[in-house]
A = this chain, B = another copy of it.
């Protein structure tokens, strides 16, 4: 049995003041004599006072403003399509508590647009923010503003360690690459070569994708059985023509490629190429449960997809902001979500 929770009434009684005064002290609303203030604070601490969250919620129908700033999901970049769902699910679950969710999106390829949108976000008077820090410099300056205004922010998809973020929820990038490496090693004959393809549209992702690549490659010398060459190419855009040219070149020089690892979310572009060429014995491993990737997973061209639970990232982001804002619960600062190994047989559970 935990000791009965102290109420402001208890504090008031012990301090010999009214509950109004206690409230003024607790909320730092000023207009209180310094001596009174100190006394109240001391007693509150002694009683280990924390406000009754339910009573507070009943009284103040003030809605919490949670604002997200994430890339817009476009025809060309569907990775971001599931993030909103997680936030909406969280708000629904919180239901009787009034939470406003305002979703602001920016163009994944345009720093200027991001910057414009950060201003828009600030004008919305957010109580808390969910942020994907795609553009590093711009994100840092935005985060500094947030810190100055004491607006807590949660990172998803990646984090910038130089900022004072409340929490990061997402992938352990290097390690997810390692998992992919292990899978490639398992299903590829030991003598075959392995190709890593960086399909980077925008330069911002380079760090991210490099990290995955490093993780992938790190598996082999330490634990792998594969003895083939490890090749590594970047394809500057995702036009079928470009991909064909680059891939043709690689395959001409290295006919013994047995597996391809694509570090971005567009494995299906490479799967298109492999299908057209009729290269049946090449194992593809990629990221993210985009519709087109899943189609190739089911047809067997893609063997594994690594999932990073985009929906779960934003779901937990909203929940953690809520708990911090309403109950001062401090979350785990860095929470790595599991690296999901997805095949044609278990994919249905992840949708």
Tell me the A residues contacting B by CB distance below 8 Å.
52-55, 57-58, 95-97, 172, 175, 178-179, 181-183, 186-187, 219, 223, 300, 303, 327, 336-346, 348-350
Contact = CB atoms under 8 A, between A and B. Distances in A.
Contacts of A339: 345-346, 349
B345 A338 contact: no
A300 B182 CA distance: 11
Query: Can you tell how many copies of this chain the complex includes?
Result: 2
Given A96-B53, A338-B340, A186 B303 contact: yes
Contacts of A327: 95-96
15 contacts: A52-B58, A54-B54, A54-B57, A58-B58, A181-B345, A183-B343, A186-B186, A186-B187, A223-B300, A337-B349, A339-B345, A339-B349, A340-B341, A341-B343, A341-B346
A225 to B, nearest CB: 10
Nearest to A51: B96
A247 to B, nearest CB: 24
Contacts of A343: 179, 182-183, 341
Nearest to A219: B345
Contacts of A340: 338, 340-341
Given A186-B303, A338-B340, A96 B52 contact: yes
Contacts of A53: 96
A336 B347 CA distance: 12
A319 to B, nearest CB: 9
A315 to B, nearest CB: 13
Contacts of A223: 300, 344
Contacts of A219: 345
A45 B263 CA distance: 55
A345 B55 contact: no
A187 B342 CA distance: 15
Q: Name the residue among A181, A223, A339, A346 with the largest chain B CB count within 10 angstroms.
A: A346
A113 to B, nearest CB: 29
The residue in A179, A327, A349 that gathers the most chain B C-beta atoms within 10 A of its C-beta is A349
A81 to B, nearest CB: 19
A187 B57 CA distance: 55
A97 B336 contact: no
Given A96-B52, A327-B96, A338-B340, A345 B175 contact: yes
B345 A349 contact: no
A300 B340 CA distance: 19
A220 to B, nearest CB: 12
A296 to B, nearest CB: 15
Contacts of A178: 345
A340 B179 CA distance: 14
Contact of A338 (B172, B182, B336, B350): B350
Q: Which 4 A-B pairs have the closest CB atoms?
A: A341-B341, A338-B349, A339-B346, A53-B96
Contacts of A182: 343-345
In this complex, the member of A181, A341, A344, A350 whose beta carbon has the largest number of chain B beta carbons within 10 angstroms is A341
A57 B54 CA distance: 7
